[in-house]
């Protein structure tokens, strides 16, 4: 045997490799990977309800056969969503409007492309408490979700109306799911938050709303659909489709009780809000405009008001240019889609 055919020779390895390749069946070229599903972060709160409705409607659309381009991805708190959006782990999310302004001011490349709702915040007190007017809360302990939350700005607007300021009450930050129990245990005298955490205590019978944005701040906005700028650059049609469905979901939700009942069943699902459907239903019905979704216009003066309130509250250090954190082009370019659920 020549040295060229030795067990470890290059010639032998080449011959064996050729024989092995010839013995294998021919395989078709590998198919191109499908576009990844866009995960849109959101909290299990009714201010985010247009998102799971939009995702369900898109999957049920004509010719889609259950195929999804985007889906609701549940998060437990704003810090978690903020971090995921900042680092690019997710490309889109429902976010607090003032928080997006702050991120844009810090050069994080994000843009608001649609509203998600209107109204939906409440100030709750115990049913057996003597508080009948907001001014009665002077000196009391009030819980808020975060100083970046628009709920906090609602609280500040109520304080200003009564010629009070934040020093006239004791403010504590607390996760909204913990607020009903804290009120029940008298650890706080009241709390200001979004739904369904007000409705949960009210339906249980031990709390009542002292003030609601539906009565006090009709153009209240809080949660907004926010996307990273690279998504806009790389997949503008997907962002447009997402906005189309979110806006359509808003109109559908406000179309009547039948739509809202279907939305309750969607939202209460284990992979969505995973909440008692009776609590979500209570929010949808008591009263019907406790949270509204039909008017999702992007109105500059409303964002300017939020910005000014945030600066006064100290959560924003300076004004942020509207164009730095808002992209109106998708709302202006909306193409109507049907919500068939």
Domain residue ranges of the chain, discontinuous segments joined by +: 38-118+220-332, 121-216
- If you average pLDDT over residues 68-76, what whole number do you get? 92
Closest CA to 153 of 192, 105, 111, 101: 192
How far is it, in rounded angstroms, from Cα 247 to Cα 251? 7
Q: Model-level pTM?
A: 0.86
Give 77's pLDDT tier (boundaries 50, 70, 90): confident
- If you average pLDDT over residues 20-24, what whole number do you get? 36
Closest CA to 306 of 162, 161, 100: 100
| Least confident residue range of 60-69, 202-211, 287-296 | 60-69
Helices (H) and strands (E) in the chain, counts: 15, 12
- If you average pLDDT over residues 188-193, what whole number do you get? 98
CATH fold, domain 38-118+220-332, is: D-Maltodextrin-Binding Protein; domain 2 (3.40.190)
**pLDDT tens profile 276-295:** 999 999 999 999 999 999 99
Write down the residue that tokens 């300021």 correspond to.
Answer: 165
**Which CATH number is 121-216's, of 3.30.457.10, 3.40.640.10, 3.40.190.10, 3.30.70.990?**
3.40.190.10
Domain 121-216 in the same topology as domain 38-118+220-332: yes
- If you average pLDDT over residues 68-97, what whole number do you get? 94
How far is it, in rounded angstroms, from Cα 318 to Cα 307? 9
* Res 36: pLDDT: 76
User: Which residues touch 85 (CB under 8 Å, ≥6 apart)?
Assistant: 41, 91, 92, 93, 95, 103, 108, 110, 226, 228
Radius of gyration of the chain (CA): 26
Three-state SS at 212:
strand
User: Which residues touch 53 (CB under 8 Å, ≥6 apart)?
Assistant: 249, 252, 253, 263, 266, 267, 339, 341
Three-state SS at 49:
coil
């Amino acid at each position: 045997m020549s040295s060229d055919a030795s067990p470890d020779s290059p010639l032998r390895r080449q011959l064996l490799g050729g024989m092995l390749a010839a013995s294998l069946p021919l395989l078709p070229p590998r198919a191109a990977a499908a576009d990844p599903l866009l995960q849109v972060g959101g909290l299990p709160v009714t201010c985010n309800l247009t998102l799971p409705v939009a995702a369900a409607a898109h999957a049920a659309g004509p010719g889609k056969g259950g195929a999804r381009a985007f889906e609701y991805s549940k998060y437990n708190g704003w810090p978690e969503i903020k971090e995921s959006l900042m680092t690019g782990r997710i490309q889109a999310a429902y976010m607090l409007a003032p928080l997006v302004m702050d991120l844009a001011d810090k050069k994080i490349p994000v843009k608001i492309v649609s509203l998600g709702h209107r109204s939906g915040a409440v100030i709750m007190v115990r049913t057996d408490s003597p508080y009948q007017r907001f001014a009665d809360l002077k000196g009391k302990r009030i819980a808020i979700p975060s100083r970046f939350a628009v709920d906090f700005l609602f609280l500040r607007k109520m304080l200003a109306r009564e010629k009070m300021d934040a020093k006239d009450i004791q403010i504590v930050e607390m996760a909204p799911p913990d607020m009903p129990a804290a009120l029940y245990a008298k650890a706080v005298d009241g709390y200001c938050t979004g739904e369904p955490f007000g409705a949960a205590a009210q339906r249980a019978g031990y709390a009542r709303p002292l003030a609601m944005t539906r009565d006090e701040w009709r153009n209240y906005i809080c949660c907004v659909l926010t996307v990273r700028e690279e998504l806009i650059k790389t997949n503008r049609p997907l962002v447009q489709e997402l906005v189309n469905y979110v806006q359509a979901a808003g109109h559908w939700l406000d179309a009547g009780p039948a739509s809202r009942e279907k939305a309750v069943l969607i939202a209460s699902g284990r992979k969505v809000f995973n909440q008692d459907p009776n609590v979500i239903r209570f929010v949808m019905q008591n009263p019907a405009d406790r949270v509204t979704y039909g008017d999702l216009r992007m109105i500059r003066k409303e964002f300017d008001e939020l910005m000014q309130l945030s600066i006064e509250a100290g959560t924003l250090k300076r004004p942020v240019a509207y164009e730095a954190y808002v992209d109106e082009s998708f709302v202006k370019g909306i193409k109507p889609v049907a919500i068939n659920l």
